[in-house]
């Protein structure tokens, strides 16, 4: 351990720690801009400069190592003046359209400018008025607001995609794609991790809120919302509530107050996905199909496989995602049962994921979903409607798609799809005495492995979240180093609870709170309290099979609930 003082506060930290690490333990706030925990630590923005004994001049706290007896001062006049000047220089090349910016009031640059009384025009205004890249169905890029922190580049590289990076040098430096291609022309997988890493409004999702408002006001349309499993654990953050607060009832009530709309629970088709996927896995094991079988509910992962590992496409489950299953069910079974015209149904999926916006455009999925809204977009609509979200009384989902299992809910966390599938597969193989919880596949480790023997069958599984970890698992499988039966992959670190469409969270929280763990806990607590723990126990799913599909993997289920994948070019 190394002993030092920060602003006179004694603190002990492990050898190799940085001043920023020590400051966190001492409860001293040091501002950062380019630094982001688990994403990047390069010391390039110079916002975290401090005075430290033994150092020549100011040093970057995020990269400068501590030493025995060091004394650090974080708020001297020299330090404050340096930070203020840095902010003012950044503002001189920043397009300051703050009132209409998507990040207004949640912008890290705006926050720092207020805290340090920065003058926005002290050095004039000379921003690069770049063309907005909005060809992607998911991600919009506005380089005139870029502050060159390169957090988006680090996030993209961590995902092992690397379709954006710095170009040119010095004052002419910009963030872009090879050969000036639009993001839509690259092998971007639309995961949106660049968006949640960006501290300003240079990257954001393509908004569909205007289209939804228009549909709600159209008397010829029946608007149906359904919400993904993770939304209940994250939406509250957009209204100042603590991370991991379960707001399911408030969420449903707020959606219903947007207009004459119905609100269903996507956890139902998470359960339906498990019924199809678990049976598909068993069919492959019994009939000698391609293994390991990979999950297919994450559109970012599917697109990654199509670009980078097309030889593995036969290994992917043919199941559609819960989003696409629900839309297909609504425009087939639901319309037939209640004598409705599918053309009059306007289906809105509320998801944590920007890649779902791309998924909606896929021809092979049938275009059943009309619009996919991120958690942020739903929050914006609730605010536009003037709804007091924090104090709104809870409401229940509409029937017939209301009650789902806890297995469907944990889809939102890494390992959740695997555990849900194992519960049903174990029941199929071992009967009522089969285990309910498979805690070995839980947690925030990048790669998790487990081996189970159920009903005499040995099942070896792996869970990877973050595409960098997925690539490691795939390479180990290809080399013969690893041999699995079933593999779950989620494109986003932590799974859907940390998706690219989740609420913006301040750097102070992201750098000090394990959001992945806190949000996931909310889903596992929800599962633990649920009287239904397994997908095969869900009444709505049972109803769908009895009244419409017959059995899992039936001809009708293949027609509506399964799909195929296409090889894509790698750019």
Nearest to 73 by CA among 13, 15, 21, 4: 4
d(CA 365, CA 373): 18
Whether the CA torsion 368, 371, 374, 380 is positive or negative: it is negative
Catalytic residue among 17, 138, 317, 332: 317
User: In 288-389, where does DSSP find H-type helix?
Assistant: 299-308, 322-329, 335-337, 355-360, 375-384
DSSP state of 547: I
The one catalytic residue in 359, 377, 419, 488 is: 359
Secondary structure letter of residue 439 according to DSSP = G
3-state secondary structure string across 296-325:
CCCHHHHHHHHHHCHHHHHHECCECCHHHH
Q: State yes or no: is 359 an active-site residue.
A: yes
Catalytic residue among 256, 496, 534, 557: 496
Can you say whether the dihedral through the CA atoms of 465, 469, 475, 479 is positive or negative? Answer: negative
**Dist. CA 515–CA 243, nearest whole Å:** 7
- The length of the chain, given as a count of residues: 571
Element spanning 392, H or E? none
Token pair 């289906």: residue: 347
CB 38 within 8 A of CB 444: no
Spatial distance between the Cα atoms of 68 and 53, rounded to a whole number of angstroms: 10
Tell me how far CA of residue 7 lies from CA of 22, 75, 81, 255, in angstroms.
11, 8, 17, 48
**Is residue 188 flagged as an active site residue?**
no
Closest CA to 496 of 514, 513, 516, 510: 516
The one catalytic residue among 303, 356, 428, 482: 356
Q: Which of 280, 324, 377, 419 is catalytic?
A: 280
| Active-site residue (options: 297, 319, 492, 534) | 297
Please state, in angstroms and rounded to a whole number, the distance separating the CA atoms of residues 21 and 329: 50
Hey, how many other C-beta atoms are within 10 angstroms of the C-beta on 454? 17
Check if 496 is active-site.
Answer: yes
Q: Are 93 and 65 in contact (CB under 8 A)?
A: no
Our CA angle for 151, 191, 440, nearest 5°, is 100
CB of 229 closer than 8 Å to CB of 412: yes
The residue annotated as part of the active site, out of 222, 237, 276, 277, is 277
Sheet with 71-73, side-by-side order of all strands: 9-13, 2-6, 71-73, 49-52, 59-60
Catalytic-residue membership of 297: yes
Please indicate whether residue 317 is annotated as part of the active site: yes
Q: Which of 310, 295, 342, 330 is nearest to 464 (CA)?
A: 295
Task: Establish whether 303 is a catalytic residue.
Answer: no
Q: Where in the sequence numbering do the catalytic residues fall?
A: 277, 280, 297, 317, 356, 359, 364, 496
């Amino acid at each position: 351990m190394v002993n030092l003082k920060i602003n006179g506060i004694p603190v002990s930290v492990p050898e190799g720690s940085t001043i920023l690490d020590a400051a966190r333990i001492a409860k001293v706030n040091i501002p950062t801009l380019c630094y982001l925990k688990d994403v990047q630590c390069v010391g390039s923005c110079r916002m975290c400069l401090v005075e430290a004994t033994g150092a020549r001049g100011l040093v970057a706290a995020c990269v400068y190592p501590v030493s025995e007896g060091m004394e650090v001062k974080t708020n001297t006049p020299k330090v404050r003046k340096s930070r203020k000047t840095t902010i003012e220089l950044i503002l001189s090349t920043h397009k300051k359209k703050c009132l209409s910016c998507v990040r207004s009031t949640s912008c890290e640059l705006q926050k720092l400018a207020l805290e340090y009384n920065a003058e926005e025009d002290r050095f004039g205004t000379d921003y690069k008025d770049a063309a907005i890249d909005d060809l992607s169905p998911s991600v919009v890029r506005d380089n005139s607001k870029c502050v060159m922190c390169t957090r988006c580049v680090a996030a993209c590289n961590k995902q092992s995609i690397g379709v954006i990076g710095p170009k040119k040098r010095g004052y002419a430096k910009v963030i872009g794609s090879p050969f000036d291609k639009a993001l839509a022309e690259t092998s971007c997988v639309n995961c949106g991790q660049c968006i949640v890493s960006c501290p300003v409004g240079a990257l954001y999702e393509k908004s569909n809120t205007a289209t939804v408002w228009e549909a709600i006001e159209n008397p010829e349309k029946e608007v149906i919302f359904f919400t993904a499993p993770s939304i209940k654990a994250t939406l509250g953050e957009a209204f100042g509530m603590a991370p991991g607060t379960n707001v399911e009832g408030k969420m449903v009530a707020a959606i219903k107050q947007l207009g004459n709309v119905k609100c269903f629970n996507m956890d139902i088709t998470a359960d339906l996905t498990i019924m199809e996927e678990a049976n598909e896995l068993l069919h492959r094991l019994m009939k000698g199909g391609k293994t390991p079988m990979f999950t297919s509910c994450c559109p970012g992962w599917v697109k990654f496989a199509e670009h980078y590992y097309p030889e593995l496409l036969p290994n992917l489950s043919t199941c559609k995602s819960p989003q696409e299953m629900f839309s297909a069910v609504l425009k087939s079974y639901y319309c037939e049962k209640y004598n409705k015209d599918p053309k009059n149904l306007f289906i809105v999926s509320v998801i944590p994921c920007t890649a779902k916006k791309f998924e909606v455009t896929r021809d092979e999925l049938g275009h059943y979903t009309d619009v996919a809204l991120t958690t942020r977009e739903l929050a914006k609509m609730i605010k536009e409607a003037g709804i007091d979200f924090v104090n709104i009384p809870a409401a229940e989902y509409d029937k017939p798609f209301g009650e789902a299992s806890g297995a469907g809910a944990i889809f939102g966390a890494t390992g959740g799809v695997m555990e849900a599938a194992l519960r049903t597969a174990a029941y199929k193989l071992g009967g009522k005495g089969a285990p309910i919880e498979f805690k070995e596949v839980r947690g925030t480790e990048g790669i998790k492995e487990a081996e189970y023997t159920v009903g005499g069958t040995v099942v070896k599984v792996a869970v990877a979240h973050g595409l960098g970890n997925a690539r490691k698992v795939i390479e180990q499988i290809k080399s013969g180093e690893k041999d699995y039966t079933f593999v779950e992959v989620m494109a986003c670190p932590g799974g859907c609870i940390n998706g690219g469409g989740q609420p913006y969270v301040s750097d102070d929280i992201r750098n000090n709170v394990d959001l992945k763990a806190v949000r996931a806990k909310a889903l596992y607590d929800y599962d633990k309290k649920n009287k239904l723990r397994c997908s095969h126990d869900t009444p709505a799913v049972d109803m769908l099979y009895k009244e419409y599909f017959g059995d899992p993997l039936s001809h009708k289920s293949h027609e509506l609930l399964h799909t195929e994948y296409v090889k894509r070019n790698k750019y």
